[in-house]
Amino acid sequence: MSSLKLTDVHKSYGKLEVIKGVDLEIQSKEFVVFVGPSGCGKSTLLRMIAGLEHITSGDLEIGGVRMNDVDPSKRGIAMVFQSYALYPHMTVRENMGFALRFAGVAKDQIAKQVNEAARILALEPLLDRLPKELSGGQRQRVAIGRAIVRNPQVFLFDEPLSNLDAELRVHMRIEIARLHKELQTTIIYVTHDQVEAMTLADTIVVLRDGIIEQVGKPLDLYDNPANLFVAGFIGSPKMNFMAGVVTASGHGGVTVELTNQGKAHVVLPLSGPAPAVGAAVTVGVRPEHFGLAGSGGPEITVAIDVAEHLGSTSYIYANTKSGEQIIIEREESRHELGHESITVAIDPAKTFLFSAAGERLR
């Protein structure tokens, strides 16, 4: 049993509340990623689960047992830190066996567990080195090894890849995914990088300002963001947002006029309650959902700022007439080279609509 449950968890430093009531259930063997901008409370939440931060109010259960006041070492968790936090004066072997030494495990048993973890991570040739003699990627693997040795129910990762260069980051990402498959344990992983979140997670938890904005499978969050924030946060490049005003509203849909875009009206079918005529709204279109001119749907013409041609894909950075920056993704398309402006079509079927308060309307 390595499920985990948070019930109405709060955290305050004096008068400053940083976690404002989090409810979350994590299943056994699930790979959960906490993602959000810096300062959203994701690391604090992880540290509360680890026992490094006191829980101001609410309950934390691991494997069905309330853990609020249990010592970090007795929660059945292991943690991998952003800076790796390897003990600089100990060899890799001593680092990995340190926790077991203080848990009173016999020496030969420690050696056995350390060797086993070293085998899984291919660390055997490095066991007698000091952390300063290792590369960044090797230190990262030792930090993971130190966590594995303790045989925890839940692994906690706090931005583990942010100190690595881009190539190594991709490599370690794959390694962590492989490890999850092999070890079959629950993993909670904190990152600000939504690419890491999308590629690693079974479930993504999007946090902002100490509250959960949305919980779901990576592609569900992409296809069905609950609000403007999640829509903007998940996806790279980001979803484009354009201001508009509702000009007609009725059963089954609304008509939105985009601000300063000539006569561009988007007619959108709605299932829920429709906003009143005159309400300010935000229209959201993902970069890959803009169509060519003439492909159907309302069209807007935008001024090209910069175009990046990567070969198979091109990203066109452009400005709308009201000054909003938008990004258009085109596959196998190079005919915009040298053009000053471009006309694109908005496909109502693939268009999102948000209220002024950021709620999802469509």
Partner 1 sequence: MTFAMLRRGIVYVLLSLAAFVSVFPFYWMVVGATNTSAEIIKGKTSLGSALITNATAFFTQVDALRIFWNSGVIAVVATALTLLVSSLAGYGFEMFRSRLREKLFGFLLLLLSIPFAAMMVPLFVMFSQAKLVNTFTAVILPTIASIFIIFYFRQATKAFPRELRDAAKIDGLKEWQIFLYVYLPVMRSTYAAATIIVFMANWNNYLWPLVVLQTAENKTITLILSGLTAAYTPDYGLILFGTVLATLPTLIIFFLLQRRFVEGMLGAVK
- Which sign does the torsion angle of CA 176, 177, 181, 187 carry? positive
Which residue(s) pair with 37 in the sheet? none
> Which tokens go with 314?
């091109």
Q: Which is nearer to partner 1, 43 or 203 (CB)?
A: 43
Residues in 55-114 at the binding interface with partner 1, rule: CB under 8 A: 71-74, 77-79, 81-83, 85, 87-89, 98-99, 102-103
CB of 140 vs partner 1, minimal distance in Å? 14
Tokens linked to 214: 């949305």
Nearer to partner 1 by Cβ, of 158 and 299: the residue is 158
DSSP per residue, 232-296:
HHSSSSPPEEEEEEEEEEETTEEEEEETTSTT-EEEEE-SSPPPPTT-EEEEEE-GGGEEETTSS
CB-wise, 107 or 334, nearer to partner 1? Answer: 107
In terms of CB distance, is 11 or 330 closer to partner 1? 11
Cβ atoms of residues 288 and 296 within 8 Å: no
Site for partner 1 in 285-344 (CB under 8 A): none
Q: CB 115 → partner 1: shortest distance, Å?
A: 19
For the bound state, the minimum distance from the C-beta of residue 245 to partner 1, rounded and expressed in Å, comes to 50
> What are 277's two structure tokens?
């005529």
* Of residues 71 and 332, the one with the C-beta less far from partner 1: 71
Q: Which is nearer to partner 1, 89 or 217 (CB)?
A: 89
Q: Does residue 51 interact with partner 1 by CB under 8 A?
A: yes
Shortest distance (Å) from residue 39 CB to partner 1: 18
Please identify, using beta-carbon distances, which residue of 52 and 279 lies nearer to partner 1: 52
Distances (CA, A) of 221 to 41, 92, 129, 237, 360: 20, 40, 43, 15, 13
List the beta bridge partners of residue 291. 345
Minimum distance of partner 1 from residue 362's CB (angstroms): 44
Cα-Cα-Cα-Cα dihedral of 145, 151, 157, 158, to 10°?
-90
Q: For residues 183 and 219, what is the distance between their CA atoms, to the nearest angstrom?
A: 24
What CA–CA distance (Å, rounded) separates 141 from 117? 10
Q: Which residue in the set 47, 141, 173, 192 belongs to the binding site for partner 1 (CB under 8 A)?
A: 47
Q: What is each CA distance from 266 to 40, 230, 231, in whole angstroms? A: 34, 23, 19
Q: Considering the complex, what minimum distance in angstroms separates the CB of residue 349 from partner 1?
A: 48
Which sign, positive or negative, has the C-alpha torsion 171, 163, 153, 188? negative
Nearer to partner 1, 133 or 223 (CB): 133
Distance of closest approach, residue 156 Cβ to partner 1, in angstroms = 9
> 3-state class of 130 per DSSP?
coil
Site string for partner 1, 228-247 (x = CB under 8 A): --------------------
Q: Which is nearer to partner 1, 156 or 283 (CB)?
A: 156
Q: Go through 243-262 and write b for each residue having 16 or more CB atoms within 10 A of its CB, e for each that does not.
A: bbebeebeeebbbbbbbebe
Q: Do the beta carbons of residue 6 and residue 51 sit within 8 Å?
A: no
Q: Name the segment binding partner 1 (CB under 8 A); options: 46-54, 121-129, 309-317, 327-335.
A: 46-54
**What Å distances lie between residue 183 and 25, 53, 305, CA to CA?**
21, 27, 48
Of 94 and 202, which CB lies nearer to partner 1 in the complex structure?
A: 94
Considering the complex, what minimum distance in angstroms separates the CB of residue 84 from partner 1? Answer: 8
Contacts to partner 1 from residues 138-157, by CB under 8 A:
146, 150
Least Å distance, CB 120 to partner 1, is 19
Least gap, CB of 74 to partner 1 (angstroms): 8
Stretch that binds partner 1, among 19-27, 49-57, 197-205, 332-340 (CB under 8 A): 49-57
End-to-end CA distance of the chain: 39
Footprint on this chain of partner 1 (rule: CB under 8 A): 47, 50-52, 71-74, 77-79, 81-83, 85, 87-89, 98-99, 102-103, 146, 150
